[in-house]
Amino acid sequence: MQGITITDQTTDGFLAVNLIDILQAIAPAVLTTQWQISHLECLGITAEQLHQIADTQQWISGALLLQLAAEITQVIDGKFQGQRLNENQPWLIITAVDSTAYDVETVDENILAQIRQQFQQVSELPILLTA
């Protein structure tokens, strides 16, 4: 997988990106993906529902994730793993990092290109080689 980090900030130094912004930037792909959420800490109208989904390790549709993410004001931490139907490995992982950045990892270079175009402060994630 290749990856990027998004660190767009507001003028007062806060992260200017939320989960919904990333999902909308790659929306067609989100809708054809099943999602599992883990290590979640978030705030907003649908936070309790998202926490319940994460705690029970449910898989949810992309449409439901978009709907729930639209009502979240902040994702402090969380891992959102996307898997295509009939596949057993994630093809897309979005990770919220301590309210300071979002890491996006994927096997699809087109997704990374869309994100690079949508956001301003984007850097490459280092590729980790394991033995």
Question: Would you say 38 and 79 are in contact if contact means Cβ atoms under 8 Å apart?
Answer: yes
pLDDT for the residue 128: 57
pLDDT for the residue 6: 97
Q: What is the mean pLDDT of the chain?
A: 94
First to last CA, the chain: 16
Question: Which tokens sit at 37?
Answer: 């959420």
pLDDT tens digits, 21-30: 999 999 999 9
Cα 8 to the chain's mean position, in Å?
15
pLDDT for the residue 85: 85
Share of the chain above pLDDT 90, in %: 90
Cα–Cα distance for residue pair 131/12, rounded to 1 Å: 42
pLDDT tens digits, 42-55: 999 999 999 999 99
Question: Would you say 85 and 31 are in contact if contact means Cβ atoms under 8 Å apart?
Answer: no
Average pLDDT in the 101-124 region? 95
Cα–Cα distance for residue pair 43/106, rounded to 1 Å: 26
pLDDT for the residue 131: 41
The pTM of this model reads 0.93
Cα–Cα distance for residue pair 82/90, rounded to 1 Å: 5
Average pLDDT in the 74-101 region? 95
Contacts of 67 (CB under 8 A, 6+ apart): 46
* pLDDT(126) > 80: no
